[in-house]
């Protein structure tokens, strides 16, 4: 059933109706009949714009390396039965780089991390919410009366 709004005064079928007040009662009327009363509500378009709005989320996220990424890489590599050297050559890196990353002495850059993720089928990044208005640790040292240094002029 399609609902077609009709003006309560003239009966005209219209796209939208406006609520007006006539002698204390609310009637929905067409644009032509609004002048019979006092508008109590602005006309609302019947069809909501269908464009999808960006998700209203005030939680921003950032990608960070998972905790224990080195161990994760090492375990996944060993599962595949690869030595560090073999693994390094498979992803086109130096053994030393793999070693450092596995020992978490070096954080892989995104390119390298993605390569490792793809090869070992593991996830090295996780999304964490950015705490809005990060804690301001550094409190501004406000001067109190006692702190005021009197500058003596010679």
| Binding site residues, Zn ion, CB under 5 A | 7, 9-10, 12, 29-30, 33
DSSP H or E stretch at residue 19: strand 18-22
Quick check: 103 and 68 in contact, CB under 8 A? no
Minimum CB distance to Zn ion, residue 45 (Å):
18
Nearest residue to the partner Zn ion, using Cβ: 7
Could you give the angle at the alpha carbon of 60 between the alpha carbons of 54 and 61, nearest 5°? Answer: 120
Minimum CB distance to Zn ion, residue 1 (Å):
22
Residue 102: alpha-carbon gap to chain centroid? 31
Dist CA 139 CA 90 (whole Å): 49
Minimum CB distance to Zn ion, residue 55 (Å):
40
Pick between residue 11 and residue 92 the one whose CB is nearest to Zn ion: 11
Pick between residue 28 and residue 117 the one whose CB is nearest to Zn ion: 28
Quick one: tokens of 55?
């998700």
Pick between residue 15 and residue 62 the one whose CB is nearest to Zn ion: 15
Minimum CB distance to Zn ion, residue 20 (Å):
10
Quick check: 132 and 58 in contact, CB under 8 A? yes
- 61 bridge partner residues: 129
Pick between residue 35 and residue 61 the one whose CB is nearest to Zn ion: 35
């Amino acid at each position: 059933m399609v609902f077609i709004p009709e003006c309560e005064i003239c009966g005209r079928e219209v796209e939208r109706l406006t609520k007006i007040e006539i002698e204390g009662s609310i009637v929905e009327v067409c644009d032509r009949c609004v002048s019979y009363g006092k508008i109590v509500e602005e006309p609302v378009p019947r069809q909501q714009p269908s464009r999808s709005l960006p998700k209203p989320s005030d939680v921003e996220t950032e990608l960070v390396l998972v905790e224990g990424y080195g161990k994760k890489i090492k375990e996944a590599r060993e599962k595949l039965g690869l030595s560090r050297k073999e693994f390094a050559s498979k992803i086109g890196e130096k053994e030393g780089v793999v070693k450092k990353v596995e020992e978490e002495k070096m954080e892989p850059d995104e390119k390298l991390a993605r390569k490792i993720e793809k090869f070992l089928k593991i996830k090295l990044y996780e999304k964490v919410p950015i705490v809005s208005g990060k804690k301001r640790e550094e409190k501004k040292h406000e001067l109190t009366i006692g702190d005021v240094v009197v500058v003596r002029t010679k």
